[in-house]
Amino acid sequence: MDKGMSLLEIKNLHASVNGNEILKGIDLTINPGEVHSIMGPNGSGKSTLAGVLARREAYVVTQGQIMFNGKDLLEMPAEEVACEGLFLAFQYPVEIPGISNAYFLRTALNAIRKYRGEEELDAMDFLPLLREKMRLLEMDEKFLNRAVNEGFSGGEKKRNEIVQMAVLEPRLGVLDETDSGLDIDALRIVANGVNSMRNKGRSFLVVTHYQRLLNYIVPDFVHVLVNGRIVKSGGPELALELEEKGYSWTEPELARR
């Protein structure tokens, strides 16, 4: 990637789910190393934006453009987007019975490595790497051989998402309401995991309803999404202001457009 080129560039994005327009013209640019947060009330389109970026089929883009890593993201199937380095930490991680966490994650990592023209890792090389990341997220080793997310508690599932992100080392991590359902200890553990991955080349898009996560993962930019549009953008202080005044505070902004 050329120096100075943005990692993600969203222009005038409109998207529908089941024929209903949810996103109504989003513009957003994320440069390498930046952490952006999208905040907004329920139903504002936050998770739809995350789903569109990950190329979820049910989300239909009707207008606009998304460039990721210098490529047209809307031309790529979901697995290619993942291989290009976009990771989505799911709001509701899915269970895959009968497939162990370790096998699943090695298959995923090798698919991505293969895409990049890198050598695939065998189990001997892979397991130490996975163990290290699990320690970081304070997850017990027994989760190595447990089926993917099966019988995991809500908090364990969210931690497992961050373990996966740590192993797959994406260019852009999209966290979709990762804080929902987490107690304060789990929140701290997850935030530590994310913060340890922050560097000059890696960016994050943190989608959240509440400001509380942003005390731990401090963003460079905060955007307020209301009714499918970004109505306000600012620094981390915007999140605090929102917490204090509530989302209704932004409504006039919306009305004026």
Compute how many residues bind another protein; rule: CB under 8 A: 33
| Residue 69 in contact with another protein, rule: CB under 8 A | no
For another protein, the binding residue among 4, 18, 19, 94 (CB under 8 A) is 94
Q: Is residue 99 a contact point for another protein (CB under 8 A)? A: yes
Cα-based distances in Å from 145 to 48, 80, 140, 230: 32, 27, 11, 42
Return the number of the residue (67 or 96) whose C-beta is nearest another protein.
96
The answer to whether residue 117 forms part of the interface with another protein (CB under 8 A) is no
Out of 83, 102, 163, 186, name the contact with another protein by CB under 8 A.
83
| By the rule CB under 8 A, 56 interacts with another protein | yes
In the complex with another protein, which residue's Cβ is closer, 44 or 91? 91
Binding track over 165-204 against another protein, x by CB under 8 A: ---x------------------------------------
Per DSSP, which regions of the chain are E strands? 8-17, 20-30, 35-39, 59-68, 71-72, 86-89, 96-100, 147-148, 172-176, 203-208, 221-226, 229-234
CB of 125 to another protein, least distance (A): 13
Give which of 231, 143, 146, 214 is closest to 175, Cα–Cα: 214
Q: Which is nearer to another protein, 85 or 228 (CB)?
A: 85
Candidates 21, 27, 120, 220; binder of another protein (CB under 8 A) is: 120
Residue 24 CA to residue 213 CA, distance in Å, equals 26
122 within 8 A of 148, measured Cβ to Cβ = no
Q: How far is the CB of 111 from another protein (least distance, A)?
A: 4
143 binds another protein (CB under 8 A): no
Ramachandran area for residue 23 (φ above 0: left; ψ -120 to 50: alpha; else beta)? beta
